[in-house]
């Protein structure tokens, strides 16, 4: 059974610099390293950690390596979303038998610290999903990696706890195919759907469905563009990414006010939210534990459903291409995705699209 998110791997043009960015801005610490110093002559990987979040930043050491080709095509972005599994072989066999395509066959990596089990399948675009079991491995990360504990960088602690959800953008009329894929090959369940009536402005719109694992710890929304007067943000992503891929990673915090304050001081660049958004906030979402003036100052969005409310904010793209970005989210009962904020979010993204000349 798939239990939780294990790690997210990024293929990037310069892993050392990308590592510095996520450490200095988002508050990650160094955890593990693989490269020429460990006998790895193909690529360099920096594993970063923050509470239960693991980011792996990887760069090829040759222009002819498949990783280099991936980066030339897509730019810096997410290449792999890995899940913790209590039986890699069973989960892998199930996925393959239900139609998933092989990426990397089941492998047991062994060294003096134990056995690390992994297998991978292909998903949308050139993103893969790996099933990982390191329950019998006592090393720092996996065979071929050493400790990586650089000195802490100046900056404020951000207290990001875990990966809440990861969103994929796929081509028009492909969303249902990928939802069916997750239901069939991963035994995930659909539980939320948004139509173009839910997520639209006067210019553009999208459709979205969400699948989740049986224990609800893995949540994967899938977006596709819908026809509008101008180019959807999803289509802009697909154009610049040269295909489908991971649009954003949502990171959970237990105190979004302090987290966003720290991130802003660290230099994180967030989408703008107009002050008018907060004029009717209390009447729309009711009483909040947080000070609305502070939420307005930090530009934090709020949405409520029958189970409670959530607070969220989105960064601008974290690389030059307008593709991948990061969401910061705090949940106070609400298990949705901020449907009431979609209009404000879309309008903010469209302002950035307009600046780029892509609306």
Mean pLDDT of 33-48: 97
pLDDT above 70 for 345 = no
What confidence tier does 20 reach under pLDDT thresholds 50, 70, 90? Answer: very high
pLDDT at residue 201 is higher than 70 = no
Within 227-320, strands assigned E span: 245-253, 301-305, 308-314
pLDDT in tens, 313-335: 999 999 999 999 999 999 999 98
Check pLDDT > 80 for residue 290: yes
> Would you call 191 helix, strand, or coil by DSSP?
strand
Overall average pLDDT of the 260-279 stretch: 93
- The answer to whether residues 300 and 327 touch, using CB atoms and an 8 Å cutoff, is no
The pLDDT value given to residue 358: 66
Q: What band does 200 get if pLDDT is binned at 50, 70 and 90?
A: low
Task: Record the pTM.
Answer: 0.94
Band (pLDDT 50/70/90 cuts) for residue 134 is: very high
pLDDT, tens only, 61-119: 999 999 999 999 999 999 999 999 999 999 999 999 999 999 999 999 999 999 999 99
Beta strands 114-122 and 189-194 are unpaired
Distance CA 17, CA 57 (A): 10
Structural domains of the chain in order of their starting residue, each with its CATH number: 2-147 (3.10.180.10), 160-356 (3.10.180.10)
Task: Output the pLDDT for position 320.
Answer: 95
Q: Provide the token pair at 25.
A: 């801005």
Provide the pLDDT confidence category of residue 233 given band limits of 50, 70 and 90.
confident
Give the pLDDT confidence score for residue 152 in this predicted structure.
82
Average pLDDT of the chain to the nearest whole number? 92
DSSP 25: T
3-state SS track over 104-138: EEEEEEEECCEEEEEEEEECCCCCEEEEEEEEEEC
DSSP letter at 164 equals: E
- Average of pLDDT values for 164-193? 95
CA angle 245, 215, 108 (to 5 degrees): 65
């Amino acid at each position: 059974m798939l239990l939780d998110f294990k790690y997210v791997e990024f293929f990037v043009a310069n892993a050392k610099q990308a590592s510095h960015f996520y450490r200095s801005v988002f508050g990650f610490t160094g955890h593990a390293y693989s490269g020429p110093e460990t006998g790895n002559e193909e690529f360099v990987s920096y594993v970063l950690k923050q509470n239960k979040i693991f980011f792996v930043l990887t760069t090829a050491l040759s222009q002819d390596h498949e990783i280099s080709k991936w980066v030339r095509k897509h730019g810096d972005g997410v290449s792999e979303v890995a899940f913790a599994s209590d039986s890699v072989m069973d989960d892998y066999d199930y996925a393959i038998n239900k139609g998933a395509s092989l990426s990397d066959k089941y492998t047991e990596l062994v060294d003096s610290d134990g056995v690390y089990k992994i297998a991978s399948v292909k998903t949308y675009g050139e993103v893969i999903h790996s099933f990982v079991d390191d329950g019998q491995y006592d090393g720092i990360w996996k065979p071929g990696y050493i400790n990586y504990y650089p000195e802490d960088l100046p900056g404020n602690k951000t207290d990001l706890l875990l990966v809440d959800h990861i969103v994929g953008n796929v081509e028009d009329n492909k969303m249902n195919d990928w939802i069916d894929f997750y239901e069939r090959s991963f035994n995930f369940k659909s539980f939320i759907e948004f139509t173009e009536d839910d997520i639209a402005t006067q210019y553009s719109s999208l459709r979205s469905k969400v699948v989740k694992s049986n224990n609800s710890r893995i949540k994967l929304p899938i977006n596709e563009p819908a026809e509008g007067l101008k180019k959807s943000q999803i289509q802009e992503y697909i154009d610049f990414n040269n295909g489908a891929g991971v649009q954003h990673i949502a990171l959970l915090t237990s105190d979004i006010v302090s987290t966003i304050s720290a991130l802003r001081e660290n230099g994180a660049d967030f989408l703008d939210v107009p002050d008018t958004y907060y004029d009717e906030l209390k009447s729309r979402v009711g009483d909040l534990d947080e000070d609305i003036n502070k939420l307005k100052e930090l530009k934090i969005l709020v949405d409520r459903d029958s189970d409670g409310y959530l607070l969220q904010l989105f960064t601008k793209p974290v690389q030059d291409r307008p593709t991948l970005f990061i969401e910061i989210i705090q949940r106070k009962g609400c298990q949705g995705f901020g449907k009431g904020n979609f209009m404000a979010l879309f309008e903010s993204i469209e302002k950035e699209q307009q600046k780029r000349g892509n609306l």
